[in-house]
Amino acid sequence: MFSGAFNIALAAPLIVPELYKRYFALLWRVNSLLSLGGREPIAPSEGINALLINTAGIDLVLIGVFVIYSARDPLSRWFIPAANATGRTIFAGIILYYVLVQDIARVVLIIGIVDVLISGAFIYYLLALRSHLSVGNATHQGDRLCEKSIFQK
Rounded CA-CA distance 12/19 in Å is: 10
The predicted-structure confidence for 57-109, as pLDDT tens digits, reads as follows: 999 999 999 999 998 988 788 899 899 999 999 999 999 999 999 999 999 99
pTM of the model: 0.76
Please state which of the ranges 1-5, 106-110, 115-119 shows the lowest mean pLDDT: 1-5
Rounded CA-CA distance 105/32 in Å is: 9
What contacts 24+ positions apart, CB below 8 Å, involve 56-59? 56/11, 56/14, 57/11, 57/12, 57/13, 57/14, 57/15, 57/16, 57/20, 58/15, 59/11
3-state secondary structure of 105: coil
Q: Which pLDDT value is given to residue 86?
A: 95
DSSP assignment of 40-100 equals PP----SHHHHHHHHHHHHHHHHHHHHHHHHTTSTTTTTHHHHHHHHHHHHHHHHHHHHHH
Element (H, E) at 109: helix 107-152
